[in-house]
C-alpha cells in the first residue's frame, strides 16, 4: 500500500487497482436522463418534453455547482465518510427517480444526482491519478481519464436505449444501482477511515454567489430549451427567462469580483491566456460535436432504425477513444505541439462532416455510418484532450480548482444547451426551406407525383380499403416521403456547412502560434486533484 493510499494496508495492489478502475467506471454509468430516454420519460410522466430536457441539463448543472463546494467538503470530512454519504444519496435518488410523477420534481432530482455524483467522481479521479499518474503529468491525466469517462458515457447511452426498448425508461436509473452498491462495498470494507490532510472548517462559503450561478444556468437552459417552441423573444416567458439569466449573471459577476472568498475566482479568466483561449475553443468545439440529434433523426425517421441500433452505432466511437486519447495524452506529456494536434482534430471533423453529408440518402446500407462515427470519435478525442491539457497548463495551484470549474461549466452548462439551441433552430429553418422547395416542385403538373398517388391508392384498394380510405392513406404516405426528403436534404446542407466551419477552425488554430506555449515545469508539478 502506498503512503497516500485510501485502502487498508492489507489490501493487495492488484485489488486496489481494480477497485479504483471499477469505482470510476461505476460513476460514469450514472447518467440519469439520457438523450435516448427523454421522449420515453416525457410519455411516462405525461409532462412537456422541454421540462425533461431541462432535467437532462440539470444533472450537469448540479455537478458543476458542487465542484467548488466539493473542494471544501473534501478538506472538512474524512474521505470514507464523505464517499459513503454521497453513494447513499446516489442510491436513494436512483430508487426515487422512477417513482416521480411531475416534471419539475424530475429536474430537482437530476440536479441533486449531478451534485452527489460530482463528489464521488472527482474523488474517484483523484484516487485514480494518485495511483497511475504519480508524475502529475497533465497529458497523462487526460489521456488516462477521458477514455474511461467517454467510454462509460457511450455504454450508459446504449444501456439506456436497450432498457427503454426491452423494459421502460426507469431502467436508466436501475442499471446504475449495481455499480453504486459495489462502490459502497469497496469504500466500506477496503478503505481506511484515516484523514489524509489537515481539517479545514466548513464556513464562509459564498452561498449567495452559488445561488446566482444556479439561477443563471437554469434560466439559460430554460431559454435554450423552450425558445424554439415559444418563438424566442416573441414569448413573454422567454423574455422573463432571458431577463432572469441576465440579472443573475450581472449579480454573480458583481459579487464574485468583490467578496473575499468568491464561489468562482473570476480573475482566473483574466490572468491566464491559456484559460481564455482553451475554454473559448471548448465552446466552439461543441458547435461541431453536439450534432448527434441531426444524425439520429436521419437514422430513426428516414432509415427507420430503433433507439437500440442508433445507440449501437454510437458505440463505434469507443475504438477511437481507446486509441486516440491515450496517444494524444502521451504526445502532450512529451510536449508535442498543441497547435498541430488541434489542427489534426478539426481536420478529422472536416472529413467527418463532408463524408457523412454524402451518406444522407434513404438507401444507405447498414454499416456505412461506422467509419464516420470512428472519425468523429477520433476528432473529439484529440481536440478535447488537447484543449483540456492546454487550459490546465502553467496555471498556479491556487487557481487550478477555479480553472477546472470554468472548463467544466463552459462545456456542460453553457456550450451544450446553447449549441443544441443553435443547431435545433438551424435544423428547423433548413427543413422549412427544403419543404418550401419541394412544395414548389409538387405542382398540379407533376406527373411523377400523380403517378405515385394513383399507384399507392390502387395498391391500398387492392388490400381491401375503400376509395376514400385509400386516398387518405396514399396522401399520408406521400407526406411521410416528403418529410423524409426534408430531413435528409436539410441534414446534407447542415453537415456540409459544418464541414466548412471545421475547416475554418483548422486554419485558425494553425495560425495561432500562441497555442504552443512554453511549458513551465515549476507550475505543473502539483496534482490537478489533491488526494
Whole-Å CA distances, 71 to 22, 77, 82, 132: 23, 10, 12, 21
Residues 175 and 292 in one domain: no
Question: What CATH number is attached to the domain comprising 521?
Answer: 1.20.1250
- Residue 344 domain flag: yes
- Residue 163 domain flag: yes
Highest mean pLDDT pick, 192-196, 289-293, 504-508: 504-508
Q: Note whether 395 and 525 are within 8 A (CB).
A: no
Question: At residue 379, does pLDDT exceed 90?
Answer: yes
Per residue in 101-140, pLDDT (tens digit) is 877 888 999 999 999 999 999 999 999 998 999 889 999 9
**In terms of Cα–Cα distance, which of 74, 70, 514 is closest to 276?**
514
Mean pLDDT of the 134-151 span: 92
**Cα(324)–Cα(330) distance, integer angstroms:** 10
Residues 268 and 377 in one domain: yes
Give the list of residues 6+ apart from residue 358 with CB closer than 8 angstroms, or none: none
- Residue 527 domain flag: yes
What per-residue confidence (pLDDT) applies to 60?
Answer: 93
Residues 420 and 283 in one domain: yes
- Residue 2 domain flag: no
What per-residue confidence (pLDDT) applies to 194?
Answer: 83
Least confident of 109-118, 145-154, 455-464, 488-497: 455-464
Among residues 173, 205, 237, the one where a domain terminates is 205
Highest mean pLDDT pick, 193-202, 214-223, 307-316, 440-449: 214-223
Residues 157 and 25 in one domain: yes
What per-residue confidence (pLDDT) applies to 495?
Answer: 96
What per-residue confidence (pLDDT) applies to 384?
Answer: 97
At CA 524, angle to CA 519 and CA 530, rounded to 5? 160
What per-residue confidence (pLDDT) applies to 293?
Answer: 87
Mean pLDDT of the 265-284 span: 94
Least confident of 109-113, 267-271, 360-364, 437-441: 437-441
Mean pLDDT of the 297-302 span: 86
What per-residue confidence (pLDDT) applies to 449?
Answer: 62
- Residue 241 domain flag: no
Structural domain count of the chain: 2
What per-residue confidence (pLDDT) applies to 58?
Answer: 93
- Residue 500 domain flag: yes
Residues 33 and 154 in one domain: yes
Among residues 190, 205, 220, the one where a domain terminates is 205
Residues 327 and 192 in one domain: no
Q: Note whether 219 and 239 are within 8 A (CB).
A: no
Percent of the chain with pLDDT over 90: 57
Among residues 205, 226, 244, the one where a domain terminates is 205
Whole-Å CA distances, 362 to 257, 300, 474, 482, 488: 55, 11, 19, 12, 8
Residues 199 and 277 in one domain: no
Per residue in 453-466, pLDDT (tens digit) is 677 667 777 777 77
Question: At residue 1, does pLDDT exceed 60?
Answer: no
**In terms of Cα–Cα distance, which of 70, 63, 161, 94 is closest to 409?**
63
Question: At residue 57, does pLDDT exceed 70?
Answer: yes
Block residue for cell numbers 436534404: 489
Looking at 257-291, list the stretches that DSSP marks H as alpha helix, in order from N- to C-terminal side: 267-271, 273-289
Residues 268 and 201 in one domain: no
If pLDDT is split at 50, 70 and 90, which confidence band does 20 have? very high
**Cα(470)–Cα(171) distance, integer angstroms:** 41
449's grid cell: 407525383
Question: What CATH number is attached to the domain comprising 147?
Answer: 1.20.1250.20
506's grid cell: 483548422
What per-residue confidence (pLDDT) applies to 314?
Answer: 86
Residue range of the domain that includes 273? 264-439+489-531
Question: At residue 283, does pLDDT exceed 90?
Answer: yes
Between 74 and 181, whose confidence is greater? 181
DSSP sequence for 426-444? HHHHHHHHHHHHHHHHS-T
Residues 36 and 165 in one domain: yes
If pLDDT is split at 50, 70 and 90, which confidence band does 44 have? low
Residues 197 and 306 in one domain: no
Question: At residue 375, does pLDDT exceed 80?
Answer: yes
Question: At residue 348, does pLDDT exceed 70?
Answer: yes
- Residue 226 domain flag: no
- Residue 307 domain flag: yes
Residues 43 and 138 in one domain: yes
What per-residue confidence (pLDDT) applies to 465?
Answer: 78
If pLDDT is split at 50, 70 and 90, which confidence band does 287 have? very high
161 phi, psi to nearest 5 deg: -65, -45
Residues 297 and 418 in one domain: yes
Average pLDDT, the chain: 88
Per residue in 386-445, pLDDT (tens digit) is 999 999 999 999 999 999 999 999 999 999 999 999 999 999 999 999 888 877 776 555
**In terms of Cα–Cα distance, which of 247, 267, 512, 285 is closest to 376?**
285
Residues 236, 242, 248, 250, CA torsion sign? negative
Amino acid at each position: 500500500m502506498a503512503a497516500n493510499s485510501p485502502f487498508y494496508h492489507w489490501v493487495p495492489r492488484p485489488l486496489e487497482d481494480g477497485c479504483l478502475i471499477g469505482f470510476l467506471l461505476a460513476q460514469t454509468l450514472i447518467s440519469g436522463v439520457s438523450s435516448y430516454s427523454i421522449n420515453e420519460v416525457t410519455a411516462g410522466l405525461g409532462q412537456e418534453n422541454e421540462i425533461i430536457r431541462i432535467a437532462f441539463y440539470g444533472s450537469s448543472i448540479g455537478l458543476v455547482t458542487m465542484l467548488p463546494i466539493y473542494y471544501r467538503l473534501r478538506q472538512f470530512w474524512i474521505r470514507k465518510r464523505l464517499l459513503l454519504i454521497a453513494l447513499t444519496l446516489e442510491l436513494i435518488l436512483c430508487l426515487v427517480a422512477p417513482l416521480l410523477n411531475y416534471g419539475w420534481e424530475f429536474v430537482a432530482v437530476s440536479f441533486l444526482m449531478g451534485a452527489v455524483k460530482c463528489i464521488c467522481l472527482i474523488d474517484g479521479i483523484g484516487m485514480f491519478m494518485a495511483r497511475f499518474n504519480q508524475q502529475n503529468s497533465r497529458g497523462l491525466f487526460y489521456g488516462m481519464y477521458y477514455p474511461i469517462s467517454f467510454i462509460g458515457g457511450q455504454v450508459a447511452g446504449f444501456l439506456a436505449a436497450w432498457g427503454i426498448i426491452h423494459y421502460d425508461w426507469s431502467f436508466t436509473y436501475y442499471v446504475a444501482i449495481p455499480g453504486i452498491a459495489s462502490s459502497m462495498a469497496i469504500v466500506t470494507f477496503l478503505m481506511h477511515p484515516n484523514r489524509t490532510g489537515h481539517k479545514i472548517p466548513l464556513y464562509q462559503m459564498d452561498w449567495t454567489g452559488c445561488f446566482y450561478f444556479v439561477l443563471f444556468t437554469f434560466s439559460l437552459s430554460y431559454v435554450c430549451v423552450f425558445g424554439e417552441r415559444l418563438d424566442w423573444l416573441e414569448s413573454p416567458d422567454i423574455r422573463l427567462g432571458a431577463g432572469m439569466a441576465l440579472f443573475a449573471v450581472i449579480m454573480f459577476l458583481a459579487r464574485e469580483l468583490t467578496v473575499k472568498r468568491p464561489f468562482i475566482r473570476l480573475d482566473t479568466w483574466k490572468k491566464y491566456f491559456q484559460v481564455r483561449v482553451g475554454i473559448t475553443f471548448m465552446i466552439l468545439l461543441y458547435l461541431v460535436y453536439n450534432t448527434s440529434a441531426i444524425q439520429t433523426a436521419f437514422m430513426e425517421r428516414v432509415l427507420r432504425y430503433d433507439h437500440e441500433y442508433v445507440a449501437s452505432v454510437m458505440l463505434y466511437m469507443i475504438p477511437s477513444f481507446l486509441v486516440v486519447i491515450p496517444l494524444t495524452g502521451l504526445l502532450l506529456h512529451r510536449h508535442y505541439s498543441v497547435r498541430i494536434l488541434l489542427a489534426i482534430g478539426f481536420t478529422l471533423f472536416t472529413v467527418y462532416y463532408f463524408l457523412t453529408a454524402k451518406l444522407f440518402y434513404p438507401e444507405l446500407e447498414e454499416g456505412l455510418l461506422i467509419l464516420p462515427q470512428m472519425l468523429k470519435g477520433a476528432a473529439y478525442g484529440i481536440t478535447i484532450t488537447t484543449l483540456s491539457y492546454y487550459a490546465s497548463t502553467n496555471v498556479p495551484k491556487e487557481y487550478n480548482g477555479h480553472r477546472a470549474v470554468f472548463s467544466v461549466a463552459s462545456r456542460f452548462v453553457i456550450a451544450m444547451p446553447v449549441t443544441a439551441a443553435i443547431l435545433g433552430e438551424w435544423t428547423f429553418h433548413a427543413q422549412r426551406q427544403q419543404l418550401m422547395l419541394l412544395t414548389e416542385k409538387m405542382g398540379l403538373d407533376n406527373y411523377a407525383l400523380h403517378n405515385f398517388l394513383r399507384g399507392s391508392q390502387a395498391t391500398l384498394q387492392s388490400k381491401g380499403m375503400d376509395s376514400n380510405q385509400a386516398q387518405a392513406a396514399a396522401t399520408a404516405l406521400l407526406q411521410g416521403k416528403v418529410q423524409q426528403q426534408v430531413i435528409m436534404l436539410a441534414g446534407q446542407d447542415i453537415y456540409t456547412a459544418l464541414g466548412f466551419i471545421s475547416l475554418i477552425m483548422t486554419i485558425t488554430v494553425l495560425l495561432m502560434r500562441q497555442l504552443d506555449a512554453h511549458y513551465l515545469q515549476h507550475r505543473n508539478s502539483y496534482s490537478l486533484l489533491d488526494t
